[in-house]
Amino acid sequence: MKILITGGGGFLGSKLCEALLRRGVLTGPSGEAEAIDEVVLLDAFFHVAATDGRVRQVVGDIGDRETVFEAVGSREDTVIFHLASMVSGECEERFDDALRVNLDGGRHVFDAARAIVGRPRVVFASSIACFGGEGMEAVNTDRTKHTPQTTYGMTKAICEMLVNDHTRKGHFDGRSVRLPTVIVRPGKPNAAASSWASGMFREPLNGEACLLPVRRDQRHPMTGYRTVVESFVGMHEVKEERLGSDRAVVLPAHVVTPALAEAVVREVAAEKGITLGPWVEAFDSRIQGIVDNWPQAVDGARAVALGLPVPPSLKGIVEAYVEDYLG
């Protein structure tokens, strides 16, 4: 079996690659477990060279159709995980690039999957940014209307509909995993409007100041990266007849505020002897304005009914980050 991961050089893409290599098998077109013998990672750049002989890194632009088709190839036993995307803050500032990368890039991936003989399985990484504006509810579910108020959310919503329609037409077997904000991402802050969500855990734990751009009572749905990777694999493994015509599933998530995050981080730090950096008020009306149009709570009951995992406690998510990245 061949696996293609777009965005394979990124945080979640590399974590997913590691998980699949450890697992060694996925359910194939035969309906039986098939060995993974090739993993192709497509991304604009890679921080670390691959060391596993099954892995091939392809440096390229998801917005270039020929590059995508070459990476996808023609093997009938190909599985695609489409994670590549510009992040939310970038999309607001660079509208045309957002369309080229998120929308055209998605179309290239879906067209390449359609060209494969048979009916390959495609798992797409969507976002709760599909929700927003007047259609948003107090608790958003898979039945909540899509009225996104960001360019990022708009591109994700369109790709979800493309996945559903390609699936309806028999082009491929598509599934969309609608992600809450994923914590705790290692490294430095990025251009995502939700970058503060990881930063309010990561920077203090690293002994650095967290510049907090939103209100301390801002509610936001969050889940851990280990749970997200497990959910990508789990969504692939769900039997098709259980999914119906709506192939997009929102994951369960904790409702987290910066005040709650600080309390949990202080608890973990006290237990593990970590000296914390400070939380510093650095209100940013642009970021707050974007976040104000995002959902504050989601209901992942459908995902759980399909067998996808429930995230551990918020403290457990923080402890996982400490274990994985602070040693």
The predicted structure's pLDDT at residue 231:
98
Residue 77 is part of a domain; what is its CATH number? Answer: 3.40.50.720
Name residues whose C-beta falls within 8 Å of residue 306's C-beta, 6 or more positions apart in sequence: 234, 235, 238, 242, 243, 249
Cis peptide before 163 (omega within 30 of 0): no
Question: CA distances (Å), 222 to each of 114, 128, 180, 267, 288, in order?
Answer: 33, 10, 5, 19, 17
The predicted structure's pLDDT at residue 293:
87
Q: Does 188 map to a domain? A: no
The predicted structure's pLDDT at residue 194:
84
pTM of the entire predicted model: 0.96
The predicted structure's pLDDT at residue 172:
97
- How far is 25 from 295, CA to CA, in rounded Å? 36
Q: Does 259 map to a domain? A: no
Q: Does 36 map to a domain? A: yes
- How far is 319 from 48, CA to CA, in rounded Å? 25
- How far is 185 from 175, CA to CA, in rounded Å? 24
From the list 169, 159, 63, 158, the residue with the least C-alpha distance to 114 is: 169
From the list 203, 205, 198, 184, the residue with the least C-alpha distance to 326 is: 205
As given in the structure block, the two tokens for residue 96 are: 């045309």
Neighbouring-strand partners of residue 281: 212
Q: Does 292 map to a domain? A: no
Cβ contact 181:220 at 8 Å: yes
Q: Does 260 map to a domain? A: no
Number of neighbours of residue 218 by Cβ within 10 angstroms: 19
Name residues whose C-beta falls within 8 Å of residue 300's C-beta, 6 or more positions apart in sequence: 249, 250, 251, 252, 253, 308, 310
Domain range holding 34?
Answer: 2-180+223-252+297-311
- How far is 295 from 279, CA to CA, in rounded Å? 24
The predicted structure's pLDDT at residue 190:
78
Q: Does 208 map to a domain? A: no
As given in the structure block, the two tokens for residue 89 are: 């803050």
As given in the structure block, the two tokens for residue 141 are: 């579910």
Domain count, the chain: 1
Pairing of strands 220-224, 254-256: antiparallel
Q: Does 284 map to a domain? A: no
pLDDT averaged over 10-residue windows placed end to end, the chain, 327 residues: 97 97 94 96 95 97 97 96 93 94 98 96 97 94 95 97 98 98 91 87 96 95 98 97 96 98 98 97 91 93 98 98 93
Cβ contact 4:79 at 8 Å: yes
Q: Does 193 map to a domain? A: no
Cβ contact 169:230 at 8 Å: no
The predicted structure's pLDDT at residue 193:
76
Q: What are the catalytic residues?
A: 152
